[in-house]
Every structure is written in structure tokens, then in C-alpha cells.
Structure 1
Amino acid sequence: MTTLAGAGAGEAAGSLLWSRAEQQDFRSRVRGCLLGGAIGDALGAGIEFHSLEQIRAAHGPEGVRDYVPAYGRRGAVTDDTQMTLFTVEGLIRAHTRRGTGVWQPAADVHRAHLRWATTQHSWGPDERDPDGGWLAREEWLYARRAPGNACLSGLADDRMGTLQSPKNPESKGCGTVMRSAPFGLLAGWEPQHVFQLAAECAAQTHGHPSGMLAAAAFAVIVHGIVRGEALEASVGRTLALLAVQPGHEETSRALQGALDAVRQGLPTPERVQSLGEGWVAEEALAMGLYCALVAEDVRHGLLLAVNHGGDSDSTGSVCGNLLGAVHGETALPAGWLAELEGRATVLELADDFALELTQGTTLHGPDSPAGASAAWLARYPRS
């Protein structure tokens, strides 16, 4: 495995002692990040392939102000949310294995992404698979929602792309960024290790440096927020971490462009579009980040993030991940939450992630009073 500059090899996870207040704050940020990303995804799903002119013609001069039908319903999510959920599940399963002597989080995330790939060509879950876990049995996830070609081809066989030998080495599509917020929720990890793991998992489908580094940068920005940094300060620290990486220039320019755009006047769809269209990783990151930086509130930021002539669901997802991590789930618009497809699944997975990160040792570690929880390991099998 190639190690990125500044990132150490070996076990990456730090340890935290969580007070009750810290656990509650962390769970709120995890819920906010995952639900916010799903809301942004759903807001953009119905206009993903429309120009700004088409959006305004169909929905008025301000563009969309609410969910519009996509995939046969309002509030439908896309592959962005699907893959994000499987990323979360892979990270939980990686953490259940820490005490077993087998610590391969990139491989566990890869196996989770392979389970997502199965949902894209199977009619429904295989109840006979004892290692599939509960998420792979959620029937609503067995739906194609415009998945990216690089994600599909990168996961078309069992070989795992690595930093040294990535899948699709010329691809830098936004399919890496839109699924990488969960790495930033690893609050007990050091930033360089979050960066490393996000890049390793991006290489499983997209091998261009900008595809991997944009995903890693997004994860570290989220990580700073979850650990209490202001959004702009987290971006600044991420830029410093990026600067020592070979091939960082496109991603660094995109992030700096988002920061510069904040100071160029009132936010408009045209200003969002000046940062790109969002089909490639560094542009999706810059556009979603800019909208989060200038957001008056969650609603304003998300609507700004989707009303443009590019990859609206991915930029909405990125912006929603950021704003949800900043403000927690109680800041999310209730009406959008009420119609969101898969909300119960997102909440269940978010709470399980928070539980694993804060109390995992009591579920399956040496501090467990009765040994490993059979119910927990049935939900997240170690094999």
C-alpha cells in the first residue's frame, strides 16, 4: 500500500473517553451529516440533468424551492445516499473487528461497496447470505438511481483498487466525494489517518489524483467540524494537509476558489456555477462547500447548492453533509425530513455508527460485561 505524505501506516484509530454530553453532541452531528446529505441529494435528484435555464423555466425565477418528483416520488434519493450508507456500514463493521487482530478498514469498506454494487443488478436481497448484514436486506435500496460508470466498473469484480494500483486511473468523477463524508465522522482518528483512509477507498473506483484527494479533503473538512472547528478553519487546515500531496493542485485550487467566491459578493446560482458543474470530484466539493460557507441557514444553503446547471444531487449532498455536521439534525427542515426516502434507515444507521464509535468496546470488547453482543454482531458480521 502506498502511504500518502504525512499519513502514518498501521492502526489509525485513536481512543476517546466520551462524556454523556459529548456522546449526545456527536450523535446529533452524525445524524445531521447523514440526513442533511440525503436531503440535499433528494432536492437535486429531480433536476440533476437540467440547465439553469430549464430549471427556472419549469420552477420559476428562483428555481426549485422544495422536492420535485424523481424516480416516481418526492424525496427520492440517488446513488449518492445509497453509497454513503454502505460506506457507514463498512466503517462500523471495520470497528467491530479491531479487537480480533484483523484491522483492514479499507477492505471492509470495499466489501460494503461490493454489497452496494449487488443492489444495482439484483432484484432484491439474498436472505440466505449470513454475512450480508441488515443494510443489504433493505429492499428499498435495490434501485438504480443514475449510478456513475466508474463506481459500477470499479466494483464489477472483487479486486480492490489501491493507491498503488487504483481502479479507473484516469477517472476523477464526483462519485468519490459524494460518499466520503462518513470518514470524517471518525472523530477519534487523527486527521492524517482520516485523509489516508478516504483516499484509499476512493481508489477503489476512481484513480485520478484529484478524485482521490478531493474525497480525502472532504473527509478531513467534515472531521474538523465534528471535532468542533469552524467550517472555514477546517478548510484552511485541510489545504495545509493537501499541499504536501503529489497532484494536489486541482483540488487545492478548487477549495481556494470556494473560499475566494465567498468574498466576491452575494451568493447567486451564477456564482455557484463559476466554480464548475460538479461532475468531477474537485468541482462538486468546491460548489457544495461554497454553498455551506455562505448559507444563511440549512434551507438557504441547500437550495443554493442544487439550483444550477450541473450535478445538482451531488453538490446538494456535499452541502447537506457539511451543514448537517455543523448544526446537527435539529436544524434540518422538518418538512423535508418527513418526505425523505429511507429516513428510518438513515437514522438507524447513524445511531448505530455513533453507538459503535462511542461505546463499541462495551458491545464487543474487553469492557463488555457479558462478552460480545450476539445481536450487534448479527447486524454487523465480522466475517
Structure 2
Amino acid sequence: MDRPVTVEQYKAAMVLSGAGDALGYRSQLWEFCKSGPAIHKELQELGGLKNIKVQLPSWPVSDDTVLHLATAEGLATDKTDEDLLHEVAARYVEGMKDMDGRQPGLTTCRAVFQLRPGLKGGYRVPYNPRGAGCGAAMRSMCIGLRYPSPAQLSSLVAVAVETGRMTHNHPTGFLGAVASALFASYAAQRRPITTWGLGLINEACPIARKFVQDRGFAVEETERDWSYFCDKWQWYLDQRGISNGEGPVVWPSAYGPAERDKIYKTFSLSGWAGACGHDAPMIALDALLGAGSDWEELMSRAAFHGGDSDSTAVIACCCWGLLYGTEGVPEGNYSNLEYRYRLERCAEQLYALSH
């Protein structure tokens, strides 16, 4: 695991994130199923993960991958500063035309309708006290592919905050974008997974807070609602015994599909596990910690649960692809994935720009 990340692993990250999304979504059937055991039962009836061929029409990607592609293709233009933000905003507007049957979130729909890319400040929307959902987290892993090195952390945070709050202008929402981007960069750096949560709280969040203050936009409201995200993450690290970044990881005595449904709910703000900016990357990290290099175990934990299963899977699978490539992944799970070639092209462009 100490080998430098390759372009093939970048491609695996983008493609497997889409595969995880399509599998966790299952054309709305599994994203909105509230029972992990029921999903696992249906999975077995389909012949298990090895026998699933992820392709249209049964296994489309959801809004998560469409908007992850929008972020990635914006970043791949190599624009910077405000030009980049207008570019990404324009791609979010364009991406919303490709939402038939993909179930975009209401917060995202309302916010993108307010974006005015190209006009002064047109990439910003007003503060949203209800904007804590995972819509920014699920589309931001590629930011970590564009800015993978420790020296680029401030750029990663700046882009994640500003693109995140294009739709989720609330710290619980846009810090989810920071978490997803950060975890992808840590995967590229080969940082031990037990350190990722600590790095989020101690390294990235303070930079994000100062960035918001320095930008001078919605500072008072953001400060008021800031603490929940970091407090909940500290709680999670304490639960897992990794608040020192080392472990050993502490797991519940029983942690199968039924137990995970209950425990993932304790991560959540609303009772729908993985639906917010803090707990979508939290469940993704939990799955990465528990699965190691086992793709089936990763999917069991990240994609097949009674919460926002495509959003947790899209994050986990992107990081997993960076770590392990496509080794051990059934080819049918990704070879005919919708938008596979766009995802691979983005990966190649981001790899070139990041190196």
C-alpha cells in the first residue's frame, strides 16, 4: 500500500464510485428501502453481487454520479479561482437536465435553480438553515483527486467549501464535501484509514472555518451552526476507538445488516442514515475500516443498508478504488456501467493535472 497511486487507480476510483452508486440505488428500489436485511435478501435472490451486471436499463447511476461527473469535468478544465467556480456551477445547472429517473434531492434542485454562473457572485446561494443534507458530500471525491497532496490541502478545502455551498450552504452540508474530498486525497496519499477522521477534525475543518471567515459570506449563520459536524465526528471516533488516529478499531459485538441499520441511525441527524453531510462520509469511512480489500464486504456495509445507500457507497467506493484498483471486483459490476467512459476520461485528466 506504500506504492504511489497510478492512473489506473484514479480510473478505478471514478468508475467504482459510479458502480457503487448504481448498486446502492438499484433504480430507486434500494436507496429508498429502509431495511438492510431485506436488501441483502433481494441481493441473494439475484444470485449475489458476483452475478449482478450493472448496466442500463436496470442499474442506472443516480443523481450522485451525474453531479460527481459535473464536479470532475469542471475541475478537469484546469480553471482556477472564480473562473473554476463559475465553471462548476454551470455544469451543475447542465447536470440537472439529466435527472430523469435519478431522484435528485430537493435541496439541490432548489439551489441549482438559483445559480447564475457567469454573473458576479452567481455561484453562490443564500444560507440555508436546512441545507445539512449529503448532496455536496456525494459529488466531491474528485476534488481529492485534483488536489491529492498534503501541500494542496488549502486548495482542496477552498474548492470543496465553495462548490459544496453552491447547493448546501450550511456547515453540516458543505463540510461533507470537505470530508469526501479529503478522504479521497488521503487514499491517494496512502494515509492509514484510522487517521482520516482525526485529520478531518484537526486539519481540514479549522482551514474550512478560517476560509469561510476570510471570504466574508454567511459567516454569522455558519458560525452559529458550525459545531454539530465536528462534535458528531468526535463522537464517532470515540465510538470506534480511533480518536488518537491509531486504534485498534473497536467494533460492536454484533455488526451484521440488522445491527448496522440500528447503529448507522445513531450516526444520523434525521434517522435516515447517510442522508446528511456528516454521516454519508462517516458510514463510508466505517465501511472502509471494516472491509479492508474485500469488495463484497465493502458493498455489504456501504451500499446495502437501510439508509441513503447510494450516497454512502459512492464515497466509499471512490476511496476504495484509489486504494485497491479493480482487483477482486467482478467485472460485471462495472464493465458496462452507464457513463463509464466519461468517468475514465475525467480520471485521466485529473491524474494529469494533479501530477
Question: TM-score normalised by the shorter chain: which range applies?
Answer: 0.7 to 0.9
Deviations 1:5-33 (A, max 9, x none): xxxxxxxxxxxxxxxx95xx341332122
User: CA shift at 1:204, angstroms?
Assistant: 0.5
Aligned partners of 1:354, 1:250: CA distance in 2, in Å? 34
- What is the aligned partner in structure 2 of residue 171 from structure 1? 131
- What is the aligned partner in structure 2 of residue 182 from structure 1? 142
**Letter of the aligned partner of 2:195 in structure 1?**
A
Q: Any unmatched runs of 5+ in structure 2? A: 210-222, 241-248, 266-272
Q: How does 1:306-325 map to 2 (within 5 A)?
A: 306-325=303-322
- What is the aligned partner in structure 2 of residue 87 from structure 1? 71
Q: 2:53 touches 2:332 (CA, 8 Å); kept in 1?
A: no
Q: 1:56 touches 1:63 (CA, 8 Å); kept in 2?
A: no
SS in 1 for 2:11: helix
Which residue, 286, 291, 294 being the options, matches 2:282? 286
**Letter of the aligned partner of 1:119 in structure 2?**
D
Aligned partners of 1:313, 1:68: CA distance in 2, in Å? 16
Aligned partners of 1:167, 1:119: CA distance in 2, in Å? 26
CA shift in 2, pair 1:169/1:207, >3 Å:
farther
User: CA shift at 1:258, angstroms?
Assistant: 4.4
Q: What RMSD over aligned residues (CA atoms) do the two structures have, in Å?
A: 3.1
**Letter of the aligned partner of 2:290 in structure 1?**
V
- What is the aligned partner in structure 1 of residue 251 from structure 2? 264
User: CA shift at 1:173, angstroms?
Assistant: 1.2
Q: 2:116 touches 2:122 (CA, 8 Å); kept in 1?
A: no
TM-score by length of 1: 0.71
Work out which of the two has the higher radius of gyration on C-alpha atoms and give 1 or 2. 1
Aligned partners of 2:62, 2:183: CA distance in 1, in Å? 23
Higher helix share: 2
CA shift in 2, pair 1:172/1:162, >3 Å:
farther
SS in 2 for 1:73: coil
Deviations 1:111-131 (A, max 9, x none): 2212212334xxxxxxxxxxx
- What is the aligned partner in structure 2 of residue 356 from structure 1? 353
Deviations 1:205-244 (A, max 9, x none): 1112100112112211221221232222233212202553
Q: 1:288 touches 1:316 (CA, 8 Å); kept in 2?
A: yes
CA shift in 2, pair 1:158/1:59, >3 Å:
closer
- What is the aligned partner in structure 2 of residue 110 from structure 1? 89
- What is the aligned partner in structure 2 of residue 40 from structure 1? 20
User: CA shift at 1:49, angstroms?
Assistant: 0.6
Identity of aligned residues (%): 24
Q: 1:64 touches 1:307 (CA, 8 Å); kept in 2?
A: no
**Letter of the aligned partner of 2:230 in structure 1?**
S
**Letter of the aligned partner of 2:32 in structure 1?**
F
CA shift in 2, pair 1:229/1:86, >3 Å:
same
Q: 1:273 touches 1:309 (CA, 8 Å); kept in 2?
A: no
Deviations 1:351-378 (A, max 9, x none): 12223333xxxxxxxxxxxxxxxxxxxx
Aligned partners of 2:84, 2:285: CA distance in 1, in Å? 27
Aligned partners of 2:153, 2:48: CA distance in 1, in Å? 36
Q: How does 1:128-167 map to 2 (within 5 A)?
A: 143-159=100-116, 166=126
Q: 1:302 touches 1:316 (CA, 8 Å); kept in 2?
A: yes
Aligned partners of 1:145, 1:67: CA distance in 2, in Å? 23
Q: Any unmatched runs of 5+ in structure 1? A: 1-20, 121-142, 359-383
Q: How does 1:156-305 map to 2 (within 5 A)?
A: 156-159=113-116, 166=126, 168-185=128-145, 186-187=147-148, 190-242=152-204, 244=206, 245=209, 246=223, 247-259=225-237, 260-261=239-240, 262-265=249-252, 267-269=255-257, 270-271=259-260, 273-276=262-265, 277-296=273-292, 297-305=294-302
Worse-matched range after superposition: 32-41 or 58-67:
58-67
Q: How does 1:331-350 map to 2 (within 5 A)?
A: 332-350=329-347
TM-score by length of 2: 0.76
- What is the aligned partner in structure 2 of residue 129 from structure 1? none
Aligned partners of 2:203, 2:16: CA distance in 1, in Å? 26
User: CA shift at 1:187, angstroms?
Assistant: 2.3
Q: 1:289 touches 1:322 (CA, 8 Å); kept in 2?
A: no
- What is the aligned partner in structure 1 of residue 33 from structure 2? 50
Q: 2:134 touches 2:274 (CA, 8 Å); kept in 1?
A: yes
Aligned partners of 1:211, 1:350: CA distance in 2, in Å? 25
Q: 1:154 touches 1:204 (CA, 8 Å); kept in 2?
A: yes
**Letter of the aligned partner of 1:285 in structure 2?**
P
